[in-house]
Amino acid sequence: MLPAYIPNPVAALFGGGTPIDLGRNFSDGRRLFGDGKTYRGLVAGILAGVVIGLLQIQAQAVFSLTYLPAHTLLSISLLATGALLGDLCKSFFKRRLGKERGSKWPLADMYDLVIGAFLLLLVIDPSWLFAQVTLAAFILILILTPILHRATNIIGYLLKVKEVPW
Ligand code: CTP
Ligand code: MG
C-alpha cells in the first residue's frame, strides 16, 4: 500500500501554487476543489508514490520476498494516481457539502485514498487486483488506514507541515 499511502504526505510537503480548479467555482457558487488541491501536490505526490513502488519492486527482487504481492509498474502507478484522484473527488464532494478547505470530514478524509486506489485498479488492472490482494489483506488495509492516517497527520501537524492534526 506504500505507493498509495505516500502521495498524500508528499503532496502536503511539496504542494502549493496553482490550484487544480484554477480558482473556479462550481454552479453552486463554491469552489470546484479548493486551494488545498494543487498541480504541484498532485504531480509530486504521484511521482513519490511511483518511486517508492519502484524501490519496493527492487527490494522484492533483491531480497526474494516472494510471499509479498508482486507489484508492477502499472499497479504502483494506479495505486499512486488513484490515491490522489480519490482525494480530489473527496474535496469535490466536500465543497458541495459546504465544508471549508481543511475542515474535518472523518471517514471520507481517511478512506478517500483507499477508494480511489482500489477503484482505479478495479477498472484498469482487475487481474492484478484479484490475483494479489486477498480478502484478509483488504480487511487489514481497512483497519490500518485510519490509524496510519491519524498518526501521519499528527506528525505533520507537529512538524508544522499541516495546519490541523487531521
Ligand atoms: N495538497 C496539494 N495538492 C493535492 C493534495 C494536497 O497541494 N492534490 C496539499 C495542500 O497544501 C493541502 C495539504 O496538501 O492543504 C493537505 O491535503 P488535504 O488534507 O487533502 O487537503 P485540505 O487542505 O484538507 O483540503 P480539503 O478540505 O479539500 O480536503
Ligand atoms: Mg484535510
Domain spans in the chain, listed from the N-terminal domain onward: 2-158
CA end-to-end span of the chain:
20
Question: How far is Cα 97 from Cα 60, in angstroms, rounded to an integer?
Answer: 43
- Find out whether the beta carbon of 150 lies less than 6 Å from any atom of ligand 1: no
Query: Which band of pLDDT confidence, cut at 50, 70 and 90, is reported for residue 163?
Result: confident
How confident is the model at residue 54, as a pLDDT? Answer: 97
Query: What are φ and ψ of residue 165, in 5° steps?
Result: -80, 25
Q: What is the mean pLDDT of residues 91-115?
A: 96
Atom of ligand 1 nearest to the CA of 20: 8
* Residue to probe by mutation, ligand 1, list 5, 37, 95, most atoms within 8 Å of CB: 37
Question: How far is Cα 94 from Cα 104, in angstroms, rounded to an integer?
Answer: 10
3-class state of residue 19 by DSSP: strand
Kindly state the cell numbers that stand for 127. 487481474
Question: How far is Cα 33 from Cα 125, in angstroms, rounded to an integer?
Answer: 27
Amino acid identity, residue 67?
A: Y
Amino acid identity, residue 62?
A: V
Could you tell me the pTM of the whole model? 0.95
Per residue in 143-154, pLDDT (tens digit) is: 999 999 999 999
Q: Which ligand is nearest to the CA of 156?
A: 1
Query: Which band of pLDDT confidence, cut at 50, 70 and 90, is reported for residue 65?
Result: confident
- Find out whether the beta carbon of 36 lies less than 6 Å from any atom of ligand 1: yes
The DSSP secondary-structure symbol of 162 reads S
Residue with the smallest CA separation from ligand 1 atom 14 is: 12
Question: How far is Cα 147 from Cα 144, in angstroms, rounded to an integer?
Answer: 5
Across 79-90, b (16+ Cβ under 10 Å) vs e yields bbbbbbbbbbbb
How many angstroms is it from 75 CA to the middle of ligand 1? 24
